[in-house]
Structure 1
Amino acid sequence: MFVVLDGAVDMHYRVEGTEQVERLTPGRVCCVEPGDEHVARPVPEARILVIEKRDSD
């Protein structure tokens, strides 16, 4: 789970093989399942809280 605290983040992920981009701003939350392809790119910088399950990769 990604929570944007300050700034903005472009979250890149794939849905059925097609890349999608969602802009996350403060207060927005993005949940990613284990194994889902994703890349978080700050725009141009951001503070993000990342919460992971134990033993997640």
Structure 2
Amino acid sequence: MKITRSRDFTAERAWGAQDIANMNGITTRLHWTDQPYRWHINDGEEVFVVLDGQVEMRYRCEGVEHSQLLEVGDIFYASVGTEHVASPVGEARVLVVEKEGSV
């Protein structure tokens, strides 16, 4: 049993993470960041939940770029092959659920 208070979590670098769980090859990690990630495509599906702050999520579908501002409680689901980049507005904490070893 373990309780994690996400609002208290910080990291030494942007996108630093704390492992929460690994269940049959699916990882759940708490990330802290104050910098954008990079455009990428995960090795599988990804669930991205904003726990603190705001995150601009940009993604491409059929070659068209879209943008959505995610707020606390919002969930972004990236299906296989979805190219995307997360850019926090200030500091943000996010919970990411994805295949172990995914980008």
Q: Taking structure 1 as the reference length, what is the TM-score of the superposition? A: 0.87
Residue of 73, 80, 85 corresponding to 1:39: 85
Q: Deviations over 1:12-41 (max 9, x none)?
A: 001221110000000000000122100011
The answer as to whether partners of 1:3 and 1:27 remain within 8 angstroms in 2 is yes
Residue of 24, 48, 72 corresponding to 1:2: 48
Query: Which ranges in structure 1 are unaligned for 5 or more consecutive residues?
Result: none
Larger RCO, structure (CA 8 Å, separation 6 or more) = 1
Q: Which amino acid aligns with 2:49?
A: V
Query: Structure 1 CA distance, aligned partners of 2:102 and 2:90?
Result: 27
The answer as to whether partners of 1:14 and 1:37 remain within 8 angstroms in 2 is yes
Query: Which ranges in structure 2 are unaligned for 5 or more consecutive residues?
Result: 1-46
Structure 1 residue 55, shift from structure 2 partner: 5.4
Report the count of equivalent residues: 57
The share of aligned pairs that are identical, in percent, is 53
- Bigger Rg over Cα: 2
User: Where has structure 1 moved over 3 Å in runs of 4 or more?
Assistant: 54-57
